[in-house]
Amino acid sequence: MKNDYSSLVAKIISDQEAIIGSLAVDLAHNVNGLDWSDGIPAVIGDSKNVISDLVKVYSNLFGQSSVAICKDSIDSVDPDLSGEIIGGV
Amino acid sequence: MSPIQGSLRSSLLLVFAILLMFWSSTNFNILGLGSQKMLFFDSYWLILIFGVVAGAYASYSWGSFRSVLGRSILSFTIGLSMQLFGQLTFSFLYWSSNGVVPYPSIPDIGFFGSIPLYSYGALQMAKSAGARRALKSLWGLLISVSIPMVMLALTVGVFIYGKSIDLSNWLMTFLDFGYPIGQAIYVVLAILTYLLSSEWLGGRLRMSVVFIVMGLLTQYLADSTFLYQNINAIWEPGSVSDLMYLVAYFFMSYGLLDFWIKYSLLKNSNIEVKRI
């Protein structure tokens, strides 16, 4: 499960990177609970809280538009999860 | 915000205020400057320098070709550079040919060239601001169909109806039709970007997008006014259309500078995440 959440985080970051460039990766470094020691993000904290925090960080850019793009990223991996996580953002 | 960004913003506001006062002085004959309209016409392109410099830095910061937002900003920046080329060559030809600038001529490369760049930039901005999402709603679909139709009807009614096609002068015919249609395309995209994303658009980049949209709208009004004045042979340098171009260039330049400033603020800030 830990690996699933890590790949979901990677998917969210990569989708944001396609829109705003490398700043997406820089902003993700501000999120607690992500380990970057291998150069790629690995979830080490409470998975849902980490993803929720990541979405909040991106919502600073375009507001709900950014949240909606994150929701699409989550839906593409696990549609049941987005309501649970985005609902808290 | 870095000292360079701060200086650029202060200088942009100062130059815009001076040029606004200058236009007012020449058009209302304040301080005996009524005869200096040509000098205003030859100087307001200065505002474009700020937009081109800020846009180049902003585009590079936001990923340039590698991101949707970077491509949008780059497109607007090259579009502004084309406007700068058009303004400078128009002034040169105006002076060197005693006030008679041939049409079409070299400046049209810049003026017409900016139209596809503005259109592509607006399309990419709509994508980055999440406008596509609104197309799923009935309201979104309705305005996406009705606004282009209204603009097309307006463009044909005001600028194209009654124009004849002269294939012996194909370039002039192409531009006669291409200018109003092209301008209508980028303004439709700008309006749709704002309307379709207004429900969702927020965050720190909202105002940067709003400035760019206002710039495109004002430029469309300026282009339409210039076309109208030109068709009716009432255009003169430093008139109201040049004031509108000045305002449009200011909005565009300020929007691009705002994107660059916001990038620095976001990159250097450790965004606090508040858990509910």
Tens of pLDDT, residues B82-131: 999 999 999 899 888 887 888 888 999 999 999 999 999 999 998 888 77
Residues of chain B whose pLDDT is less than 70?
33-34, 199-200, 270-276
Task: Give the residue from chain A lying closest to B129, CA to CA.
Answer: A65
The pLDDT assigned to B270 comes to 62
Q: In this predicted complex, what is the ipTM? A: 0.86
pTM: 0.89
Interior angle at CA B221, CA B260 and CA B120, nearest 5:
50
- Look at A66 and B266 and tell me if their CB atoms are within 8 Å: no
B140 to A68, A70, B106, B133, B201: CA distances (angstroms): 16, 21, 40, 9, 14
Among B63, B130, B274, beta carbon nearest to A22:
B63
Interior angle at CA B16, CA B12 and CA B22, nearest 5:
145
The pLDDT assigned to B272 comes to 55
Query: Phi first, then psi: what are they for B166, rounded to 5°?
Result: -115, 100
Rg (CA), chain B: 20
The pLDDT assigned to B145 comes to 84
The pLDDT assigned to B67 comes to 93
- Look at A56 and B274 and tell me if their CB atoms are within 8 Å: yes
Among A23, A63, A68, beta carbon nearest to B267:
A23
The pLDDT assigned to B244 comes to 95
The pLDDT assigned to B276 comes to 41
Average pLDDT value for residue range A5-15: 89
The pLDDT assigned to A16 comes to 92
Contact A33, A46 (CB under 8 A): yes
CB hemisphere CA count around B82 (13 angstroms): 17
Q: Is B232 exposed, middle or buried (0-12, 13-18, 19+ CB in 10 A)?
A: exposed
The pLDDT assigned to B34 comes to 66
Does residue A5 surpass a pLDDT of 90? no
The pLDDT assigned to B49 comes to 96
Q: How many CB pairs under 8 A join A and B?
A: 92
Check if B203 contacts A (Cβ < 8 Å): yes
Question: Which positions in chain B touch A19 (Cβ < 8 Å)?
Answer: 67-69, 127-128
SS3 B97: coil
Interior angle at CA A32, CA B274 and CA A68, nearest 5:
60
Contact B200, A64 (CB under 8 A): yes
Instruction: Enumerate the β-bridge partners of residue A42.
Output: A35
The pLDDT assigned to A45 comes to 77
Does residue A26 surpass a pLDDT of 70? yes
What's the gap between Cα B262 and its chain centre? 20
Question: Which positions in chain A touch B263 (Cβ < 8 Å)?
Answer: 23
What's the gap between Cα B94 and its chain centre? 23
- Listed residue (B88, B122, B129, B125) closest to B216, CA to CA: B122
DSSP H helices, A1-89, are 2-20, 23-28, 47-62, 64-77, 79-86
Among A26, A63, A88, beta carbon nearest to B203:
A63
